[in-house]
């Protein structure tokens, strides 16, 4: 047995896997097969088996991160410890690939294999097998040994530091170089990973530091706001999470051109994380966080617990709550960018040098899809749920705008588009201004992953340029009434979908029943799919009238519940 495998076994004894648990890599990272909410649940009581549950997963994910780095010639891999929008007692772990993307899909199965190894010895064996399969030399004494490079960060959850220890133990066992970035938002870690791996190349993404992140965004924002009158303060609910101190630092770096009122910033009270506040609360409850008091027509926004989701909302003059979700952010961004490439003279009637497109999931409101196609005249792709699918599809465009309805998304530019934007020659002062704005926009947007802080600045810039309040933005199109229901079933794996999860293949006959129901409703649409993060099937429906959307959801849920 090599010294590395010996070290893996020794350290693994500190992070044992509970015997009766199994794991899979879901829409949000490694999760137990019975699906404990998003990512992996963890309670803070040391005696609770859930603690060991996540402890072993993080330890093993640390081993995998090192292998991933070695497999890519020593490129830096990121590990983020967070359970995003979920409760404070949950936690989870995700890997970040070298360009700041999510872990390549083919590696998800390796994560599952290591997470499920039944003993410390079997884990070491699986690790060795995997290294062999990937032709990785794991002996630090060997000439062919590539030292792994791994960086990591965590959100504000109480369980974070203990999990960082598990991760650290794994990295030490395999002789990896490691850097602990402590508290960060998920997108900040993605930014850091990309900066490290592109440093000194023509694709350099920015300074490798949290400070560098603020400077890059602040400079881009201030460039875009030059000569543009302020539209006043935005109130930002930070979900009592890591986004609060980070937004404060960003706002300080920007200076007076960005006025924000930060609420729900109690990060020293861990139980308050995502509780009665945050993007998920606002989106699912369709109401203001109780602690927020929004004046009529005042812009409000909410982040989630790791600041990768953003939704906007406001109270109308008559007091009704209006949500501006990921679909509204996507349409706003796509229309602004579409106009800019035209104003810069890059796209004209004769040529489309930068093809702009939008990527959504089946949960996008039908009205948003029609608006993009019919009003903005842009192509739309629908993908399965999970940002990795959206991100991948967005790369098919020169400029791909992707958002989930829940507010997770960003804009990605192809290398060809970046080159056009950098080299295009403006033929008038107006074109020159548009081009400069486009160039600044590329820096303002965190292209690695959906980033609530970057998206917040993006929306603020667009609204200021358009001189729009939330009501004008909301008026671009009217959402169809919709309903999302969670249905508990005995075995969610029997639900198999096709067509970007919009139709069921199995159980056989169910789709036909759904179709028959949908046909009875004006502008009716409904689909059912197994959740990737919870042990349930989700049913979504929309229709022309609220009552009809509700009824359709109820009836489809009744069909699903029979399985």
Active site residues: 84
User: In angstroms, rounded to a whole number, what is the distance separating the alpha carbons of residues 375 and 445?
Assistant: 24
Alpha carbon distances (Å) from 260 to 98, 398, 462? 33, 32, 16
Interaction of residue 304 with Zn ion, rule CB under 5 A: yes
Cβ distance to ligand NG1 smaller for residue 78 or 386: 386
Q: Closer to ligand NG1 by CB, 265 or 306: give it.
A: 306
Determine which residue in the list 108, 280, 308, 542 makes contact with Zn ion, applying CB under 5 A.
Answer: 308
* Minimum separation from the CB atom of position 63 to ligand NG1 (A): 24
Question: Which sign, positive or negative, has the C-alpha torsion 265, 269, 275, 279?
Answer: positive
Work out how close the CB of 454 gets to ligand NG1 at its nearest, in angstroms, rounded to a whole number.
18
253 part of the interface to Zn ion, by CB under 5 A: no
CA angle 17, 22, 25 (to 5 degrees): 110
Question: What are the DSSP calls for 11-52, one per residue?
Answer: HHTTSPPPTT--EEEETTEEEETT--SSSEE--S-TTSHHHH
Secondary element (H or E) of residue 235: strand 234-237
Binding mask 41-80 for Zn ion (x = CB under 5 A): ----------------------------------------
CB of residue 410 to ligand NG1, shortest distance in Å: 14
Which positions make up the binding site for Mg(2+)?
84, 304, 306, 308
Assigned token pair, 238:
């930070």
Residue 101 site contact among ligand NG1, Zn ion, none (CB < 5 to 8 Å, cut-off depends on kind): none
Choices 84-92, 256-264, 285-293, 370-378; region in contact with Zn ion by CB under 5 A: 84-92
Shortest distance in whole angstroms from residue 39 CB to ligand NG1? 8
Binding residues for ligand NG1, rule: CB under 6 A, are 27-28, 38, 84, 363, 385-386, 404, 406, 408, 531-534, 538
Q: Which does 385 bind (CB under 5 to 8 A by kind): Zn ion, ligand NG1, none?
A: ligand NG1
Interaction of residue 38 with Zn ion, rule CB under 5 A:
no
Nearest CB to ligand NG1, comparing residues 28 and 420: 28
Instruction: Compute how many other C-beta atoms are within 10 angstroms of the C-beta atom of residue 273.
Output: 29
Which is nearer to Zn ion, 120 or 306 (by Cβ)?
Answer: 306
The 10 Å Cβ neighbour count of residue 7 is 18
**What's the min distance (Å) between Cβ of 278 and Zn ion?**
9
Residue nearest to ligand NG1 (CB): 532
Distance of alpha carbon 514 from alpha carbon 56, whole angstroms: 42
Pairing between β-strand 29-32 and β-strand 40-41 as defined by DSSP bridges: unpaired
Sorted by sequence, the CB contacts under 8 Å of residue 169 that are 6+ apart come out as: 11, 14, 15, 59, 62
- Residue 306 in contact with Zn ion, rule: CB under 5 A: yes
306 binds, among ligand NG1, Zn ion, none (CB under 5 to 8 A by kind): Zn ion
Task: Please check whether residue 49 is in contact with residue 32, taking contact to mean a CB–CB distance below 8 angstroms.
Answer: no
In whole angstroms, how far apart are CA 22 and each of 30, 51, 52, 298? 10, 15, 13, 47
Toward Zn ion, which CB reaches closer, 304 or 548?
Answer: 304
The site partner of 304 among ligand NG1, Zn ion, none (C-beta below 5 to 8 Å per kind) is Zn ion
CA distances from 299 to 148, 253, 460, 463 (A): 45, 22, 10, 10
- The token pair at 119 is 């003993």
- Angle at the Cα of 481 from the Cα atoms of 479 and 487, rounded to 5 degrees: 125
In whole angstroms, the minimum distance from the beta carbon of 241 to Zn ion comes to 9
308 binds, among ligand NG1, Zn ion, none (CB under 5 to 8 A by kind): Zn ion
Cβ distance to ligand NG1 smaller for residue 432 or 536 = 536
Residues within the interface to Zn ion (CB under 5 A): 84, 304, 306, 308-309
């Amino acid at each position: 047995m090599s010294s590395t495998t010996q070290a893996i076994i020794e350290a693994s004894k500190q992070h044992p896997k509970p015997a009766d648990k199994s794991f899979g890599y879901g829409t949000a990272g490694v999760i137990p097969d019975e699906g404990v909410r998003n990512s992996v649940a963890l309670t803070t009581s040391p005696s609770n088996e859930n603690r060991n549950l996540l402890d072993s997963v993080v330890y093993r994910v640390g081993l995998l991160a090192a292998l991933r780095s070695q497999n890519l010639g020593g490129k830096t891999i990121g590990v983020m410890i967070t359970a995003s929008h979920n409760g404070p007692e949950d936690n989870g772990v995700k890997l970040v690939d070298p360009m700041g993307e999510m872990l390549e899909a083919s590696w998800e199965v390796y994560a599952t294999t290591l997470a499920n190894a039944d003993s410390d010895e079997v884990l070491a064996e699986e690790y060795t097998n995997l290294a062999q399969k990937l032709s990785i030399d794991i002996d630090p004494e060997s000439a062919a040994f590539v030292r792994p490079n791994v960086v990591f960060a965590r959100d504000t959850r109480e369980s974070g530091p203990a999990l960082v220890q598990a991760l650290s133990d794994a990295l030490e066992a395999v002789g990896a170089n490691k850097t602990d970035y402590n508290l960060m938002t998920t997108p900040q870690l993605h930014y850091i990973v990309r900066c490290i791996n592109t440093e000194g190349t023509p694709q350099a993404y920015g300074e490798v530091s949290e400070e560098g992140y603020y400077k890059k965004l602040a400079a881009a924002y201030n460039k875009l706001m030059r000569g543009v009158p302020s539209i006043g303060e935005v109130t930002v609910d930070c979900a009592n999470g890591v986004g609060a101190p980070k937004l404060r630092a960003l706002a300080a770096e920007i200076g007076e051109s960005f006025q924000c009122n930060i609420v729900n910033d109690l990060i020293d009270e861990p139980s308050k994380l995502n509780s009665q506040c945050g993007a998920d609360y606002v989106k699912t409850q369709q109401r203001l966080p109780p602690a927020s008091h929004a004046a009529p027509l005042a812009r409000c926004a909410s982040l989630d617990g790791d600041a990768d989701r953003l939704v906007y909302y406001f109270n109308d003059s008559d007091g009704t709550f209006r949500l501006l979700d990921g679909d509204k952010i996507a349409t706003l961004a796509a229309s602004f960018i579409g106009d800019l490439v035209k104003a810069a003279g890059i796209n004209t009637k004769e040529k489309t040098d930068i093809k702009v497109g939008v990527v959504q999931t089946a949960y996008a409101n039908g009205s948003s899809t029609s608006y993009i196609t019919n009003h903005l005249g842009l192509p739309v792709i629908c993908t399965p749920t999970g940002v990795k699918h959206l991100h991948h599809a967005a790369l098919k465009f020169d400029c791909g705008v992707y958002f989930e309805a829940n507010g997770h998304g960003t804009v990605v530019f192809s290398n060809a588009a970046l080159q056009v934007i950098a080299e295009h020659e403006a033929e008038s002062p107006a074109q020159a201004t548009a081009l400069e704005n486009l160039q600044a926009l590329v820096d303002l947007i965190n292209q690695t992953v959906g980033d609530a802080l970057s998206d917040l600045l993006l929306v603020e810039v667009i609204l200021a340029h358009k001189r729009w309040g939330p009501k004008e933005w909301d008026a671009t199109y009217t959402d169809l009434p919709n309903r999302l229901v969670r249905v508990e079933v005995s075995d969610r794996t029997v639900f198999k979908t096709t067509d970007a999860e919009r139709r069921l293949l199995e159980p056989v006959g169910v789709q036909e029943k759904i179709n028959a129901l949908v046909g009875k409703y004006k502008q009716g649409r409904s689909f059912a799919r197994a959740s990737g993060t919870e042990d349930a099937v989700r049913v979504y429906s929309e229709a022309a009238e609220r009552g009809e959307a509700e009824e359709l959801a109820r009836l489809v849920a009744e069909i699903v519940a029979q399985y």
